Structure 1
């Protein structure tokens, strides 16, 4: 009978582990033993017959014992040779070892979702969305700063759903929460982190996610595109998809599962597909709408940043008025395209002229021999291309209003009108404006 893929891989891994063990490369041997047992675990569960599984279990006991001894040896960091590698099974339960190993593997997957480096997005970087920011401050910042306010019946929100058209700043708000909530452990989770091809593993991942959040509380679990995991239950869906949703429901508000110190933050563009029970568990459902004119004005300023430009306050107001129906992401794309216009001018220019300005290598030094692109008829124009300009002698052309208008003419809003109608209907029925 042909060996299964996992069984072949397991045999190969433990063979290499034994070789590294003999060569006293104990760290490599330990990793190979653990990976080999993981592969044996899958083979035992899903691929081999009962008689074969019994023999594999006996072998796995030896590899697990050896791995444990290597781990102890490496912890002590002593120079003497580790104890004899022959396994002496003193009544240890194989199933417990296997379960522990499997749980360790699942927790390892979930730990990858913990955001260690903060995204450096502050509340002030998010234009508009005041209601959404206030709700998140109520749920995250205030309970930490003033815990005595949240006693008795006054408890912070346990679930907040951000819904609205794509590109309006739902994920950006989550980045701001991750930055501002210093004391919180932030889990950023997607469907790929929680869905597995192995039977029963997906719901274990969901359970382990909440267990890990409880261990590291206060915690925030951010689930982007939550509709991909928690759509409405139906008779046509697979059993595995139903079990994932059931586990979510149980973990968020089931008997015996405490949510103190944990906030579940969800984001979706299509909230109407969510299961009604999941929707109920999100106590605050905040609509992140398309930005209004004053918010669009702030977005143009934020996206321009400190880039050299010749735009006046009036110019930016005109741009804000012209971009009705644009999302924050659409405005970002308009500005990014406009910022590339000076680069295109440099590429296509046939004439350059000398100007005075800050040195590209040191902005504090003003030099008088920089070259910037110009039209052939301008005074002082020299016929040359960008290939003839030294790298430290190029004067950056500023972004102009004509650059912005040119980019605006080629960039269209991406929000679908049909989706906007559905979102407003959902807002009327279940949500509140952000």
Structure 2
């Protein structure tokens, strides 16, 4: 997504909201104010650069939220027209609300802080973009898509999964699967949180943030709460850990499956590379624990095809199969790096070439037009070789050399797998004890 697009959308929404407010279409104005604030919070998290810009956006958010709340409160009480911006409510109204909303400003502040975790823009990752991992995809469809599409299937004792833990070596696609869930679960609100969203330096605020996260999820249900690197929040409890860390874990346990907490319509999705450090009580609350292993040969073949895309290449199906068999022990991320390095080899050839020759090929600007005066790097002994460097070639006249099998083999020799055998043994042991294959 282009930088600044979310911020632009937020500005458009609040501009419309102020127009509707002026035209006395108060319900529409309130909806637009709240929608605009959601986009502003998303912009703070992913786009705003520098503390000044963030503080400025936060101040605006508070202003628009305050106005939206005034309209909401006024409409709820049946007033014909909401109070003007800047006016205060009557003493009687204040008195009647004083008890119920005594801690409301603080709660509102915490919830507005968490609303930045809502994924407003979908990541556009489909199930078909995830190579292999069929068991994991089926479990996620069972937990997320089916209950929304066919709610009548999940009645009585048949209830959807409330917690799914994805564990496995780094770079195998755990977070990528979560992106696919965010894209495919159209009607669900997707919260993507990490420890930085939930841990605060102020005493008692961290557990309030956890509680407010679940309250926000209940308000926007059906909801999915995705916690990446869940081990940083929920490692095993011990005697020498800090009081604040213990309280966060306790609140988490209570919210996920505690007395008096409604978890209908909420799925907690966790991802970790080191599942053996999780607390036993947290592990129990993740009802499905799915091992996301290193990709098998057929999945590696698909990954090579996905990462090569439509780049000009001389690789055929047999070459790709050979590469898939040579990359045993490589994760999806490792294969991505190998292909990216191989795709840079033609660029390096252009940079280091001392001779170029004329060739026929599609125009760099328009692939439908075939040109016969393009220049491509070649060996000094080739027919028609002209001594020149890339600096002498016109920008519109360069024909890029295709990626060859030799390029990929060269990249494979320099890019080693990142997962070691020791970690794999630990993950295999955890799967045998507590998990299922993905």
TM-score (norm 2): 0.79
- CA offset digits 1:279-304 (Å, max 9, x no partner): 00001000000111111111111111
Question: Which residue number corresponds to residue 242 of structure 2?
Answer: 238
In structure 1, what is the Cα distance between the partners aligned to 2:270 and 2:94? Answer: 48
Alignment of 1:105-116 (within 5 A): 105-116=109-120
1:218 has 2:222 as partner: yes
Match of 1:227 in 2: 231
- Cα deviation, residue 72, structure 1: 5.6
* Aligned twin of 2:145: 141
Q: Which residue of 1 aligns with 2:159?
A: 155
Equivalent residue for 1:261?
265
* Residue number in structure 2 paired with 1:375: 379
Aligned positions, number: 369
Q: What's the secondary structure of 2:396's corresponding residue? A: helix
Q: Secondary structure at the match of 2:400?
A: coil
1-side partners of 2:93 and 2:120: how far apart? 40
Instruction: Choose from 411, 414, 418 the match for 1:410.
Output: 414
Aligned to 1:421: 425
Q: Distance in 1 between matches of 2:188 and 2:232?
A: 26
Partner of 1:99: 103
SS in 2 for 1:391: coil
| 1:160-205 per-position Cα deviation (integer Å, ceiling 9, x unaligned) | 0000000001001001111111111111111100000010111011
Partner of 1:177: 181
Distance in 2 between the 1:69 and 1:290 partners?
Answer: 52
Q: How big is the shift at 1:393?
A: 1.0
Deviation at 1:392, TM superposition (A): 1.1
Q: C-alpha deviations, 1:143-175, integer Å up to 9, x for none?
A: 112111111111111100000000001001001
Indicate the SS of the match to 1:161. Answer: strand
Residue 100 of structure 1: how far off its partner (Å) = 2.1
2:336 is the alignment partner of 1:329: no
Is the 8 Å Cα contact of residues 69 and 83 (structure 1) preserved in structure 2?
no
Matched, 1:352 2:356: yes
Unaligned runs of 5+ in 1: 1-63
State how far apart, in whole Å, the 2-side matches of 1:266 and 1:245 are: 14
Aligned match of 2:344 in 340, 343, 353?
340
Unmatched tracts of structure 2, length 5 or more: 1-61, 75-79
The 8 Å contact of residues 341 and 403 in structure 1, kept in 2 or not, is answered as yes
Q: Quick check: 383-392 or 282-291, which moved more?
A: 383-392
Q: TM-score with structure 1 length normalisation?
A: 0.80
Q: Does residue 1:317 correspond to 2:310, yes or no?
A: no
Aligned-partner SS, 2:411: helix
Once the two structures are TM-superposed, the CA of residue 69 in structure 1 deviates from its matched residue by: 8.9
